Structure 1
Amino acid sequence: MGRERAATWLLRTLALSLLCARSRGQVFNLTLSVKEGLPAKTIVGDLGAGLSRPSTGFFISESRDSYVFRDLEIDADTGIISTAVVLDRESRERYEFVAATLTGEVIQVTLEVEDVNDHSPVFPSEEVDLEISELSPSGSRFQLDVAKDEDEGEFGTRGYRITDGEMGELFHLEYRSGSEDHPSLDLILATRLDRETQDFYSLAIEAFDGGVPPRTGTLQVNVRVLDENDNPPVFNQTEYHASLPEDAPAMSSVCRVHATDLDLGDNGRVAYEINRRQSDPNEVFSIDAASGVVYLNKPLDHETQAFHELIISARDGGAQPEHSSAFVGVKVLDVNDNSPAISVLFLSDTGDAAVSEAAAVGDYVARISVSDPDFQEQGVAVTLVEGDGTFALTQTDDFLYALCVNAPLDREERDLYQVKVQASDLGSPPLSSEVTLLLRVTDANDCRPAFEKDAYVVRVSEDAPPGSSLIRMRARDADDGVNSEVRYSIARSDRGGPVSIDPETGLVTTAAALDRETQAELWFLVVAADGGEPALSATATVTMLVEDVNDNEPVFQQQLYNATVPEHSDVGSCFLQVRWGMCSFTCTHKIYILLRYSSRKFASSHKYTFQISGGHF
């Protein structure tokens, strides 16, 4: 009790002294600082440092919550202030108390505890789990809790980083300090994730403060990539092939298809179905939706359909399902109950059973295809019967043959051939069939027109009028059709004779009046050409003889002749020669001369006799 009373008396005295000092203006302020974490007994300062003159005694006063006497030691005699414990700024950052000297001076003391970097940033939890959809676009943000650092200022949290360098390609951080009470930290997706490639990521995020060296705190972020239906089912084969005998019973197993989906859950659960819109509309086959086993649903018939194509669709169970397709080919195995079938395709221009006589040896006449539903793999034996060796068969493929020319053809000698093709399968006993071909040999323009003679002679009177018929030229062509149609023309003559010819009938007629005295004989060349492409032709020479008619009078060369006869001329003496003519060449006509006397003396006298020979008197 005595000590409590003494303390109370001291406080009252100190308070009274402080009141008096303030009234006299004797109040001093002393501000000290000390770094936290220093060992106990560390000297902080001296109360006398705040006085104008030294003092040897002090009274100390503190507030009830200042913890001065607990954390500090103050020497009342010397005024030395030291730490009683290791100070912690995060527990108490300031101490305040009042001291008074024995002389009544008052000192207001403030001790600031300076911060040191003695705390690391600490996340609210050491580990956090994130779920990110694999369809999240790049740039997506995911907020993380920031780290707390008990230190302040530069020793507080200054930033964050991802310690795994490879993770920096997928994620990066964005830290916004804002105000001290509302900082934010975002994990940002740098690129889209693919759960099927990697479904889990673990990255360490480090928070660091501003110390040198900095203190750090670590947050382990576990990223689980959520599945999305972004993968279609994938078949283990793009094509499946199976075979069944045509007498297989219903519900026989054909084959099994299998598809996998990399997605999870319903997104990866695959169901199968036959795409009826693209295949098997008659539902010959069925499929188990869960197992993918294809079954025979209806009886098969090799002769009706030897091969079936199925489109199998695999669909996942996603809300918006993905799907893919595979091809299933089913071959129907046959029983030998069919004869081979022979199909003939003629290669002529018209598609008829014909071959040109101009076809060379080896030329194709027809394409023969042979099919036997029972022996498609083993093949069929095909032979040629008849044909006299003029034609032969050449195999061009498993079931294809070519009927080709084996010897020269001549339509003029033979224009029709009968050829028989026979096909036999390899069954036991074998089944066979045959087809008979009647091949017509078509004409080629290989024959020239032929006149009956090479040269003809015709006679015509020179008084024949224009258009008179001279001769009908006839040329025959052994070809057929257009190739045998002959047309006639006159190619040339010795003087461009006055004749013409009908191009169709070959009738030669005069084209102008004739004059034997001008031209008694002429020749011309008649051409007979057929209608082929190119045309073939022949020629014949025609000689025309113009027969004379008496159409010219004799004409003396002079109208008047004067002659003198010596009186003692001998008988037979020539005293005059006269000339006449009818044409420019020697005449064969007989000329009769009648003498008329203009003198009666000569006319009545018989003493004068004249003889005319060759115009000589």
Structure 2
Amino acid sequence: MACGIPPFSLCVTWRFGCRQNLQLLFFLFYLSHMVSGHIRYSVPEEMKKGSLIGNVAQDLGLDLKRLRSGRARIVTGESIQYTELKTDKGTLVVKERIDREQLCGDVTPCSFSFEVILENPMELHQITVEITDINDHSPTFKRDAIQFEISEIANTGARFSLASAEDPDVGVNGLKEYILTENDNFVLKQNSNADGKKYAEMVLQKPLDRETNPNLSLKLIAVDGGTPQRSGTVNIEITVLDVNDNAPVFNQSVYKATVMENAPRDTYVTTVNASDADFGSNSIVTYYFSDPNSGLGNLFIVDEKSGVILITGSIDYEKDKKYELRIDAKDQGGLTDSSKVIIEVTDVNDNAPTISVMSFTSPVSEDSPPGTTIGIINVKDLDSGDNGQVNCRIEQNAPFKIKSNLRNYYTLVTDTVLDRESVSEYNITVVATDAGMPPLSTTRTFNLKVSDVNDNAPVFSLSVYSAFIAENNSPGFSVLTLRAKDPDENQNA
């Protein structure tokens, strides 16, 4: 999350192995202002390496000479750099294969951002590249077959949840609809969760007759909306059971619960409950996830007898803020009812701020004026709300201050005139603290050396020297020793 700073803020990051490459860029002792801009491009995924994304120089109103003289380059904190800036042409091209599904999953729109930095004078331009989807995946089911045991006296209108298909593509290329092969007994009903994910149910429209047809074989087909259209299929195997005339009924159609992120294993979430009007074994109800292969089975478990739902995995608010479970209740005769459990995740302050050094200049001349830039840092916090609001400060009392001019960025500058003869070296500790309860902090120490200028004249230890010499001494006889000191160093001394 962003630091608690104005919308436009500047910060700096430094990697000590790159001092020579970045030293000139951030040697901004007489910096008075900084230019910034923001452009956005849109390209499809899976473009070949070297494919053109856009003309950065033209879109930013820069000529090629400015790109070269300003040593224009891309700055990004990500481990993979998907784009490359061609300064000789002023163009932005694809450097690495971009897989939208790998980059963003089902999040849409999908984009990534980075900065283009120029020097002399310094310019910081943000570029956002939106990655559009292509239809490169087919809907798939995680199971080869769906098994049902259904009573022959199941009531018309009884619903049976079907396994969902997964399609990592989004938009029109994502999952569009389900199709059930033609049959005499069932029709297909399609629904959508609150997040837009589609799922299907079979609805019984004509009673089953075990004596006529004890087994049914159907196919569920999932199709997407891409061109050309892709599809996936799963078999539905139905075994018709005898004599069970009441299905379980949940006492709520939707259950709601709240859990804290990082809640420990076996933390209680909620309890679902369904009743069956039958007697004996036909009234015994068991609970299970409608789609055990959805991946939520790694995070939650439902007790098949009691309906108690517990946490079994790691709940991370930064990954998922809400979960939606579909629970089925089944009696001994195979009749089922479905209910939905919506679980809201509450954020806790479990992420400390991170400080990334974009640039740091050392040594700095002792005659540098106040306001000289010595470093730029980038500060982020993955938490949300107050837990993600970050404040930056310098820990010790030193002649430096920290300023923010662009979002997430801070500039470290001198606050007074430096004097190498008084202090030749500083350890500057920057502290980033979030607003959570309790707050979390991160520190980063910068070692700054002060270089000498010839600002001190030699000084004799005495203003007047007196000596006496006897006559008739030989030539070369020592008469007097004079001493002078200069607090400067090296050739300046």
TM over 0.5: no
Bigger relative CO (Cα 8 Å, ≥ 6 apart):
2
> How does the TM-score come out when normalised to structure 2?
0.41
Greater C-alpha radius of gyration = 1
